[in-house]
Amino acid sequence: MEFIQQLVNGISLGSIYALIALGYTMVYGIIKLINFAHGDIFMIGAFIGFYAITVLKISFFPALLISMTACAIFGVTIERIAYKPLRNATRIAALITAIGVSLLIEYGTIYVRGAQPEAYPSTVLPSTEFKFLGATINSQSLLILGVSLGLMILLQFIVHKTKIGKAMRAVSYDTEAARLMGINVDNTISATFAIGSALAGAAGVIFGIYYIKIEPLMGIIPGLKAFVAAVLGGIGIIPGAMVGGLLLGVIEAMVSALGYSLWRDGVAFVVLILILIFRPSGLFGKNMREKV
- Tell me what the pLDDT averaged over the chain comes to: 87
Sign (positive or negative) of CA dihedral 153, 156, 157, 158: positive
Look at residues 48, 2, 84 and name the one whose alpha carbon lies nearest to residue 203. 48
End-to-end CA distance of the chain: 53
Q: Inform me whether the pLDDT recorded for 108 exceeds 90.
A: yes
Rounded CA gap, 111 and 99, in Å? 18
Rounded CA gap, 196 and 155, in Å? 9
Q: Phi/psi zone of residue 182: left (φ > 0), alpha (ψ -120 to 50 degrees), beta?
A: left
Q: pLDDT band at 255, cuts 50/70/90?
A: confident
Identity of residue 180: L
Q: Are 79 and 94 a contacting pair, CB within 8 Å?
A: no
- What would the pLDDT profile of 40-92 be if each residue is shown by its tens digit? 999 999 999 999 999 988 888 899 999 999 999 999 999 999 999 988 888 88
**Mean pLDDT in residue range 154-177:** 89
DSSP string of 9-40, one letter each residue? HHHHHHHHHHHHHHHHHHHHHHH----TTHHH
Q: Inform me whether the pLDDT recorded for 289 exceeds 60.
A: no
Rounded CA gap, 108 and 117, in Å? 15
Q: pLDDT band at 287, cuts 50/70/90?
A: low
**Tell me, what's the pLDDT at 286?**
66
The residue that leads in pLDDT, 211 or 42, is 42
Rounded CA gap, 12 and 207, in Å? 10
Look at residues 111, 145, 141 and name the one whose alpha carbon lies nearest to residue 127. 141
